[in-house]
Structure 1
Amino acid sequence: MGENSLAIKLIAVDLDGTLLNSNNQISPETEKALRQASSQGILVVLATGRPLSGAMTFNRQLGLAGQKQYNIVFNGAVIQDLAGNVLMNQEMNYHDFSNLRRLQRLAKVNLHFETPECFWTCDRDLGANLAINAAVNNELVKVRKPEEITQDFTFNKVGFSVIKEEQEVDKLWQNIPEWAFAKYDIVRSFSSVIEVNLKDASKGNALIQLADRLKLDQQQVMVFGDQGNDISMFANPNFQKIAMGNAIEEIKQEADYVTADNDSEGIAKALKKFVL
């Protein structure tokens, strides 16, 4: 970690599989450690694929609120303060909507489009995965025919998800063409979900922008993560990078330190070791 770990000023924490245990809760020691860091003036920033509405419960639990606290949402497409103000917003447009509907034809999967206000889909049959995603994030799902989507439609993130058979997500993942990977940031965040953002929209890039805005050195930023949508944070050589024990191998290889898993107070253990 080096001497810079003494000067951590911002801790960026992924939600699912990192901050949250297998019961989708923040365990007591982790809450205590993050509250302690926050009380010492260290910014705790949730960095998630979810919209802000899906993170607010956990912000409240950690005592985070107001215009001086921030979340990175939609995998880095949007930075908002906790009063809801948008500091940075990267949007896809109607052309992208058409491109992504072309990709959907490669497999039998749900496709939904996420905005800060709601989720949109043109699918009539919604799998449990999409329904649960909307419920967890406290989001309305608007089902519309393709011809009802207007040319000025914009959105921040897209999810392809399993309807019934997970191998259909495998099929899509294996058949996504090169042009799509060249144009978009496409990650498999879970075995049942593929997430799409604009090419430069990533948690790692959003974190660089937030650090610049707050006039922090990148070496004062510590990150915690476990999945494909966290790789952009772990690709930055300047951040202090902590992989969860349950992280995918690619994250562990890029990490400065591998802590315990999300069911064993991994965040709390690492913070006690390096920060508190």
Structure 2
Amino acid sequence: MITTIALDLDNTLLTSEKTISPRNETVLKQLHGAGIRVVLCTGRPIKAIQPLIKQLGLTEPDDYSITFNGGLVQQNATNEILARTSLSKDDLAPLHAYAKELGIPLDVIDLTQVYSLVDLGKSPYEAFLKGLMPFSDINFEDLPADDRFGKAVSASAKAVDHRDQLPAEINAKFHAVPSRRNLLEFLPQHTDKASGLKQLLAHFGEDYSNLMAFGDEENDLGMLEAAEVGVAMDNAIPAVKAIATDHTLNNDADGVAVFLEQYFGLV
């Protein structure tokens, strides 16, 4: 029995204009009102998705989001942390050295802000987030040593192109996964959306057999493969389509709502 719907955001739930369409909003609110959990799954921190959480009315005690691509499971209304994996400044030191050698930018994100490591050159990541998080431009040596970070990102096609050539030291410490064609994310090892969802489902005494998931990119592969019902968007990359149990229309054609209406008999 499906009790939980996990939704990637960019190019899945969200349109190309970064909005939730009226049809998607209506269907998700209907299912949520009927007791189905709706879980937003994203690489962003929860602060950056609060407008979407409020739009969908996901503010009840059992409403959680998966953020940092699985690194953080957080209650939507209180921000209480259910589960967390994180990185220290020491963990990030070899990644900083690698980025400097390769000539790619790096941004590091904690629970409240983004640190743009300008000693590597200012990245386009701040422009990409469009004001959703505050940014601080600092050198790596000034990164707070007592902070815990959810992930590091390199907004660079070059970083994505070299993902298969990462040094062993980096592969041993990080799970590197593209979340967009020009954005490579460095997460704590063994962290992905599936791992975050596993912890959330266990909190409710459930497992992947209760999960339906929607996605389009490589960072969605784990949760789509684990889910009882894994739905690939029509605009998904080939690898996602290959492992999905089901397929739907693209993100600009209300693909999420169309599938949910059919699956749950809403039409």
The counterpart of 2:195, out of the listed 167, 190, 205, is: 205
Which residue of structure 2 aligns with residue 43 of structure 1? Answer: 37
**Quick one: distance in 2 between partners of 1:145 and 1:178?**
25
Contact 2:91–2:173 (Cα < 8 Å) also in 1: no
1:245 aligned onto 2:241:
no
Which residue of structure 1 aligns with residue 4 of structure 2? Answer: 10
Contact 2:198–2:207 (Cα < 8 Å) also in 1: no
CA RMSD of aligned residues (A): 1.7
Helix, strand or coil for the counterpart of 1:110? coil
Give the residue type in structure 2 aligned to 1:218: Y
Report deviation, 1:99: 1.4
Which residue of structure 2 aligns with residue 4 of structure 1? Answer: none
Aligned residues: 263
**Quick one: distance in 2 between partners of 1:37 and 1:150?**
43
Which residue of structure 1 aligns with residue 115 of structure 2? Answer: 120
Helix, strand or coil for the counterpart of 1:55? helix
Per-residue CA deviation, residues 214-272 of structure 1 (Å, 9 max, x unaligned), is 11242111000111111110231x53111111111111111110110101111011101
Per-residue CA deviation, residues 104-155 of structure 1 (Å, 9 max, x unaligned), is 124332201111111112215423x21123435x211122223223433321
What runs of 5+ residues in structure 2 fail to find an aligned partner? none
What runs of 5+ residues in structure 1 fail to find an aligned partner? 1-6
Normalised by the size of structure 1, how large is the TM-score? 0.89
Contact 2:9–2:40 (Cα < 8 Å) also in 1: yes
- Structure 1 segment 17-56 matched on structure 2, within 5 A: 17-56=11-50
Which residue of structure 1 aligns with residue 251 of structure 2? Answer: 262
Contact 2:234–2:249 (Cα < 8 Å) also in 1: yes
Contact 2:12–2:251 (Cα < 8 Å) also in 1: yes
The counterpart of 1:181, out of the listed 145, 154, 171, is: 171
Contact 1:79–1:89 (Cα < 8 Å) also in 2: yes
1:146 aligned onto 2:136:
no
- Structure 1 segment 101-140 matched on structure 2, within 5 A: 101-123=96-118, 125-127=121-123, 129-136=124-131, 138-140=132-134
Give the residue type in structure 1 aligned to 2:213: V
Percent of residue pairs bearing the same amino acid type? 29
Give the residue type in structure 1 aligned to 2:259: A
Give the residue type in structure 2 aligned to 1:36: Q
The counterpart of 1:229, out of the listed 198, 206, 219, is: 219
Contact 1:106–1:171 (Cα < 8 Å) also in 2: no
Contact 2:116–2:122 (Cα < 8 Å) also in 1: no
Contact 1:14–1:224 (Cα < 8 Å) also in 2: yes
170-179 vs 240-249, greater mean Cα deviation: 170-179
Normalised by the size of structure 2, how large is the TM-score? 0.92
Give the residue type in structure 2 aligned to 1:97: L
The answer to which structure, 1 or 2, has the higher relative contact order (CA under 8 A, 6+ apart) is 1
